[in-house]
A and B are shown apart, each in its own frame.
Chain A
Amino acid sequence: MTETEGRVYNVAGQDWDEVVAAADQAGDRPGEERLVVNMGPQHPSTHGVLRLILTLDGETVTELRPVIGYLHTGIEKNMEFRTWTQGVTFCTRMDYLSPIFNETAFCLATERLLGIEAEVPPRANVLRVLMMELNRISSHMTAIGTFGMELGATTVFLYGMREREKVLDLFELISGLRMNHAYIRPGGVSQDLPPGALERLREFLGVMPGLLGELRALLDANLIFAGRTKNVAYLDLAGCLALGVTGPVLRATGLPWDLRKSQPCCGYETYEFAVPVTDTCDAYGRYRLRMDEMDESLKIIEQCVDRLAAKRPAHDPVMINDPKIGWPAQLAVGSDGLGNSPAHIAKIMGQSMEALIHHFKLVTEGFRVPPGQVYASVESPRGELGCHAVSDGGTQPYRVHFRDPSFTNLQAAAAMSEGGLIADVIAAIASIDPVMGGVDR
């Protein structure tokens, strides 16, 4: 396991001539001039801490090797030492641009292990869909914004971030946090919509189409943008399937594969929306596809708002009606600014000793999950986000593994870039839209 093939160079200093001489003789064409460029891990256009090692022949990339792991924080291991409910707080931090999807995938897996999928209240499912689609917009806005910035268009970045901010404001209003929400919980969601949220959502739905139009006007027919993205980073359907690539990159090859349609969760089958496709297989097609997806997300959000407005929360719970699993979810903001459930506190502190014990056990010990393993998945902005969860019957996950789409899609970077120009590497990486928090977990 520890033996290494061939001679080892430590590059420890005073040995540069030796290393260069050895590098010159290595590879397919020994003696010919090659340039090995290290890009990252701290580089503004590598989308976080991604390191690329490029071998160049002039300006042509002959070899690209991504190096990852700089953001590995052991989230999967840490989750094995917390309860199932606490696990949400960890996994939301993986892919920090799509926290709601991480939470949903984990909660769907937990619910399937518990066998309570059908008992999640309908209002909780509508809220999950609402939050996921809002999240899809904020994630795509970041993707397109950074795409623009990495190609040198800072206006696009500012527009993208400005629009994303609108979604983050809504997240703050609804969940209390702009990122890392821990809003989706096993059995439902942590709390219902606060007063005034529906109006703010309607306002958002009113302004977004115009703002998307502004971005389109800026990019769709932009000569420089088209020149940098059309026929760049080509990856066809066969390549996508072999490399396991899903999400916008796959749909940009013309295959309308979207888990929201093919294997719907959270009641996606009851919403009207289309799955946009483009068939150019290039970076430009992926950009157009993300814009179209945001239009569809707005349609879904509109339907969610109508459904949420139709019923009063008092008759429509957002957490499963099972005191062994559900935490109190009818919260109000206290004088300390924290969310609490005054009715629940009055009951456990004033009326029922047993309820107090029960609450204490539910929160500190957690609930037991029957042994077994499941794989649950959602269509995240970047592709199929899967959660493989194993329980041994205890109150903590025995093993949780996330199949993060960024991790898998990033493997395609070499296939997209090799043989192309070095400038197109930037466009290729940006069109994959990897989030290193999700890649490394």
Chain B
Amino acid sequence: MTGENLPEQGSQPAAAGQERLAEPVARTGMFGTHTTGDTSGYGGLRVRRAAVPASPRPYGSYFDDLADQLAGGLKQPGAGFDDAIEKVVVDRGELTLHVRAEHLVTVAKVLRDEPSLAFQLCLGTSGVHYPWETGRELHAVYPLLSITHNRRVRLEVSVPDADPRIPSLTGVYPTCDWHERETWDFFGIIFDGHPALTRIEMPDDWKGHPQRKDYPLGGIPVEYRGAHVPPPDERRSYS
């Protein structure tokens, strides 16, 4: 019997299992607590963080049209659709195009100027910090809106924490001016070509970028009827 009960080498379920075990651990135990004992019996549980896979064609809705039209607009050699777009993700009825930083401005220009795309409005820049994604820790997310076609698309750019540089979109969408300043202020992403990349929400002499995950929330314990309530980031958390 020994050996017969093992899965066949290279079989799909075994490969999927190997892939799953290679993913980073998101939390351990049932409740993610570290301060007190976990009496639930699930102390050894390891919950892994599933990677976001690229969506295969057809994407559904207007997303296929949009991708085709964008591919049609990206004609320059070395800046075609496959060069500029790393990954296409369709999730919960929303389309995300993961764009390589060096091609961001070109892609945005095509999305804005191509009449069949006509994304006139950029709804700002939002940063997200994923410390476990080595080499692509900082993400900038740009939601775009086309008034002509009543469509939405999201551009996402990821850069390494060691060299957090993204070309500025202010030349294509002037509205990104303050949004990029905010993202620099909170995440430390440097937008190359921005006319005046200065702090906008925090004081000019502030040290650090507060929305990053390695920046503490801060706070002091509060006394209430003799008991001390710790600050929010030191309380037991469940995730």
Answer whether A and B are interacting partners. Answer: yes
Q: Is residue A69 contacting chain B, with contact meaning CB distance below 8 A?
A: yes
Indicate if A92 sits at the interface (CB-CB under 8 A): no
A82 touches B232 (CB 8 A): yes
- B178 touches which one: A1, A78, A386, A411 (CB < 8 A)? A411
Contact present for B126 and A401 (CB under 8 Å): yes
Complex Cα spacing A69 to B177, Å? 15
A374–B90 alpha-carbon span in the complex (Å): 11
Which residues on the A side are within 8 Å of B45 (C-beta)? none
CB distance from B107 to the nearest CB of A (A): 18
Chain B residues within an 8 Å CB radius of A398: 128
| CB atoms of B178 and A408 under 8 A apart | yes
Q: A241-B120, A243-B175 are in contact. Are A403 and B92 (CB under 8 A)?
A: no
A394 to B49, CA, bound (A): 11
| Complex interface: chain A residues within 8 A of B173 (CB) | 242, 244
Q: Is B229 an interface residue (CB 8 A)?
A: no
A31 at the interface (CB under 8 A from B): no
**Chain A residues within an 8 Å CB radius of B182:** 407
> Residue on B with the closest CB to A263?
B150
A386 adjacent to B232 (CB under 8 Å): no
Stretch of A50-58, A134-142, A278-286, A365-373 at the chain-chain interface: A365-373
Nearest-Cβ distance from residue A247 to partner chain B, whole angstroms: 12
Contacts A77-B211, A365-B31 given; indicate if A411 touches B177 (C-beta within 8 A): yes
Give the chain B neighbours of A403 by CB distance below 8 A: 123-124, 126, 143
B143 close to A242 (CB less than 8 A): no
Give chain B nearest CB distance to A81 CB in angstroms: 4
Interface residues of A in 384-402 (CB under 8 A from B): 384, 386, 388, 390, 392-396, 398-399, 401
> In the bound complex, how far is the Cα of B191 from the Cα of A128, in angstroms?
39
Q: How far is the CA of A262 from the CA of B148 in the complex (A)?
A: 11
B175 touches A77 (CB 8 A): no
Answer yes or no: B50 CB below 8 A from chain A CBs.
yes
| A76 in complex: contacting residue of B47, B200, B211, CB < 8 Å | B211
Nearest CB in chain B: distance from A93 CB, A = 16
CA distance A390 to B127 in the complex (A): 11
Chain B neighbourhood of A441, CB < 8 A:
201
Structural contact, B201 and A72, CB atoms closer than 8 A: yes
Residue in A243, A255, A396 whose beta carbon sits within 8 Å of that of B239 in the complex: A396
Which of A334-368 touch B at CB < 8 Å?
A: 365-366, 368
Question: Whose C-beta in chain B lies nearest to the C-beta of A391?
Answer: B239
Determine how close the nearest CB of chain B comes to the CB of A383; give it in whole angstroms. 10
Which residue of B50, B143, B200 contacts A375 across the interface (Cβ within 8 Å)? B143
How distant is B131 from chain A, measured CB to nearest CB, in Å? 11
B210 within 8 A of A: yes
CA distance A441 to B200 in the complex (A): 12
Set A77, A242, A371: member contacting B174, Cβ < 8 A: A242
Counting CB contacts under 8 A, is A304 at the interface?
no
Given contacts A393-B49, A396-B237, A440-B201, contact A77 B147 (CB under 8 A): no
Do B210 and A368 have beta carbons less than 8 Å apart? no
Q: A250: shortest Cβ distance to chain B, in Å? A: 9
B92-120 residues at the A interface, CB under 8 angstroms:
92-94, 96, 120
Which A residues lie within 8 Å of B62 (CB)?
none
Q: Are B202 and A365 in contact (CB under 8 A)?
A: no
Cβ of B126 and Cβ of A115 under 8 Å apart? no
Chain A, Cβ-Cβ closest to B122: A244
A257 proximity list for chain B (CB < 8 A): 147
B10 contacts A by Cβ under 8 Å = no
B4 interface residue (CB < 8 Å to A): no
Chain B residues whose C-beta falls within 8 Å of the C-beta of A82 in the assembled complex: 232
Q: Mark A391-433, 1 if CB is under 8 A from B, else 0.
A: 0111110110101000110110000000000000000000000
Contact B217 A244 (CB under 8 A): no
Q: Give Cα A1–Cα B174 distance, bound, in whole angstroms.
A: 23
Is A162 at the interface (CB under 8 A from chain B)?
no
A-B contact pairs, 16 of them (CB 8 A): A69-B201, A69-B203, A77-B217, A78-B217, A81-B217, A241-B120, A243-B175, A244-B121, A365-B238, A375-B94, A375-B152, A384-B123, A403-B124, A408-B175, A411-B178, A440-B201
What 4 pairs across the A-B complex have the smallest Cβ distances? A394-B239, A244-B175, A401-B126, A81-B232
Task: Write the residues of chain B forming the contact surface with A, with a CB cutoff of 8 angstroms.
Answer: 26-27, 31-32, 47, 49-50, 52, 91-94, 96, 120-124, 126-129, 141, 143, 145, 147, 150, 152, 154, 173-175, 177-179, 182, 190, 199-203, 210-211, 217, 232-233, 237-239
Residue numbers of A with Cβ under 8 A of B are 1, 68-69, 72, 74, 76-78, 80-82, 112-113, 115, 241-246, 255, 257, 262-263, 365-366, 368, 371-375, 377, 384, 386, 388, 390, 392-396, 398-399, 401, 403, 407-408, 410-411, 440-441
